[in-house]
Structure 1
């Protein structure tokens, strides 16, 4: 199966629709119904591991450092996983208020990832014609470089998602994430190249700057088989916002921090205590002094 057309559609489609951003914004301002956009459905571009519907503001750059430690059930000798760590560093830049691009590098499998996100629909409220949900399109490509003997095309994987979220009042936000994942060469011999999944994520706001987050990705394949010794990814955590910083502290059964890894290659299960402590640190820089970072 040739995956290039699928990836090109998922990744380049946002480039096409982003040209309509100014027109959409103008139409929203001229809407006579009195509706207003619903903001801050999530406080970060990630729910935990997975993408949220949020995109970076225009001319804002997000520098993100993520860590996942070893398994808690590794025992006291390994300091319950803290002796081992996997890391990802990444940058996300807002081309417009609706469209962002990103790049990152993970120590696990020495993966480089590239992606784009476009907010197609913005939830609105307070008027006659309200929009009930926000919809964001996400497309990405990963290059795993740990095995130098593989051909370049065998190192590639692609992911496409439709992120659909709704903010219910001031405290609760929920998101649905249908996902298509394609691996040119799966890590386990005999595993399927295509993984279909659906993610369910949520955020419950405890205070102005603190929230509880959780997510679960259900994959459409058999679990823990010789050809696919993997489980569904489940994660819970706390978001703490301090101005331009967002700290995300969480527990997850997934070691990897990109879709190829946490959706397609989660090797641990909560039932056996295969839980990793981890955190994301996000720092946003503004290159537009007229558009301050929202508090």
Structure 2
């Protein structure tokens, strides 16, 4: 009887072992296949979220809202911090810009905005010409083309300005936004820029202003990142009489939107203002504290 029990136990253990071997082999093959599919160096993958929003501080980023997405932005900038206690260190003064951005496709976006500064309306178009990717035929950078126009509707008081034409109120901006996401934490962007002003007040001022911008985003926690952008004006009367725009900020991601805090030496929030007309001295305390709130809405009826 004991011999029979030992024999039965032996065959039962052998049966379990024989069943376990193919099951373990099958599981190993399945995990190997999943790993191959997940980490395939030959598969082309587009690099996403180079920047968290469509704006950095002063600058536009390479990002667009996405097809069928409407972004509403509130940009607010107070007076300079060194304006003194009487002006509550700038909080008694403010400039506001409201704008809407809409993704016509995954690559093409348009937008309109209105600034209280000089009662300015602006419109723009952005096109994601190249997207950074990995794998087969990898692309090292993303390139977004940006063009905007702005018109001031401020009433002119000087007699010589009252007869100015509508065209003389127009300013145009053209940029190539070139960015690379080096890691999940670090993104860098370069921005060759041309500003054309149809009208300048005096002869020494320049209708065409050239600048090179640079920006970066360094993620420090899951929902927090440090940002910076800077514009260098190339030699000329504008570079001699105005300052290079510099901004430092922090991005805070919340459930439904991105909240951006910053300080900059530029009061204006569109290319027309911060590239050729910045007057503040950053390291002398001419710092404008501001914030940007962005909220995205998915438009259900897409064409």
Cα distance change of structure 1 residues 188 and 269 upon mapping to structure 2, 3 Å threshold? farther
Task: Tell me which residue corresponds to 2:25.
Answer: none
Cα distance change of structure 1 residues 189 and 275 upon mapping to structure 2, 3 Å threshold? farther
Task: Tell me which residue corresponds to 1:86.
Answer: 95
Question: What CA RMSD, in Å, does the superposition of the two structures yield over aligned residues?
Answer: 2.0
Shift of 1:62: 0.5
Q: Distance in 2 between matches of 1:128 and 1:284?
A: 33
Offset from partner CA, 1:117-146 (integer Å, 9 cap, x none): 000011011x13211000000000000111
Offset from partner CA, 1:124-169 (integer Å, 9 cap, x none): 11x1321100000000000011135221010001011000000011
1:105 aligns with 2:114: yes
Task: Tell me which residue corresponds to 1:4.
Answer: none
Q: Distance in 2 between matches of 1:200 and 1:223?
A: 22
Task: Tell me which residue corresponds to 1:196.
Answer: 210
Shift of 1:35: 1.6
Q: Distance in 2 between matches of 1:61 and 1:207?
A: 27
Tell me which stretches of 4 or more aligned residues in structure 1 moved more than 4 Å.
222-225
User: Of the candidates 134, 140, 149, which is equivalent to residue 132 of structure 1?
Assistant: 140
Q: Which runs of 5+ in 1 are unaligned?
A: 1-31, 291-295
Number of residue-to-residue matches in the alignment: 257
Residues 176-195 of structure 1 mapped to structure 2, 5 A cutoff:
176-186=190-200, 190-195=204-209
User: Of the candidates 263, 285, 289, which is equivalent to residue 251 of structure 1?
Assistant: 263
Question: Which TM-score applies when normalising by structure 2?
Answer: 0.81
Question: Which TM-score applies when normalising by structure 1?
Answer: 0.83
Kept in 2: contact 1:71–1:273 (CA 8 A): yes
Offset from partner CA, 1:50-82 (integer Å, 9 cap, x none): 110001111100000101110111011111111
2:168 is paired with a residue whose SS is helix
- Which of these two proteins has the greater Rg computed from alpha carbons? 2
Task: Tell me which residue corresponds to 2:168.
Answer: 154
Cα distance change of structure 1 residues 136 and 286 upon mapping to structure 2, 3 Å threshold? same
Task: Tell me which residue corresponds to 1:10.
Answer: none
